[in-house]
Amino acid sequence: MRASTLIGMIASAVLSTACATTSQFPDRQLAESRASVRVAEALGATADPHAATYLEIARGQMKDADRAIALRDYWLAERSLRSAQANAELAAALAREANARAEAVDMQRQVQALRARVP
């Protein structure tokens, strides 16, 4: 167990190192992640608790990425940005779901009201 962990860590370190060495400034990923966060915000992810949780995580990861970029750790920055994009996209999907649910509930409430009014 310890040996395998050790080996994994070594492998990871090798991989990371390899990646780090080959990493460049993640301009494309940064743009995509920011766009994903903006989309989630625009969809009202802050209004839905579930979506807001992931949006908050995404924002934190965006800051992590900013800090990594400041340290020129582009590998770590790109990882944070990818994770932030995934969280932001989930927040956006959850916000869309919440919006759709809210709209459906609203519509069904109108239908109920109408049915109650017109037997």
Partner 1 sequence: MRLINVVLGLSLTACAAQTVTSRELVNARIAYAHAASSNAPSDAPRSLEVARGTLNAAEEEHAFDPGSMRERELAFLAMRRAQAAMADANARAAQRDAQLARDELRRNAEEAKRAAESAQAQTQQARAQAEAATKQAQAEAERRQAAEQQATSARLSLEQAERNLADVHSQLSAQGDKLDEQTKQLREREASLQAQVEALRTQRDQAERERADAQRQRDRVAEELRKVGEVAEENRGLVLTLPSEVMFRYGQASLLPRAKEKLDELANALQDLGPDQKFVVEGHTDSRGSVAFNQELSQRRANTVRAYLIERGVDPDRIEAVGRGEVEPVASNANPEGRANNRRVEIVVTPPAVSRR
Rounded distance between C-alpha atoms, residue 53 and residue 91, angstroms: 8
Site for partner 1 contains 20 (CB under 8 A): no
Identity of the residue, 69 or 79, whose beta carbon is nearer to partner 1 in the bound complex: 79
Q: Among 4-12, 23-31, 62-70, which window interacts with partner 1 (CB under 8 A)?
A: 4-12
Site for partner 1 contains 28 (CB under 8 A): no
Site for partner 1 contains 67 (CB under 8 A): no
Site for partner 1 contains 46 (CB under 8 A): no
Contacts from 6-15 at CB under 8 Å and sequence distance 24+? none
No. of H helices and E strands in the chain?
A: 4, 0
Rounded distance between C-alpha atoms, residue 35 and residue 55, angstroms: 12
- Of 41, 44, 86, 119, which lies in the binding site for partner 1, with binding defined by CB under 8 A? 86
16: number of Cβ within 10 Å? 15
Question: Rule CB under 8 A: which residues touch partner 1?
Answer: 1, 3-4, 7-8, 11-12, 14-16, 18, 79, 82-83, 86-87, 89-90, 92-94, 96-97, 99-101, 103-104, 106-108, 110-111, 114, 118
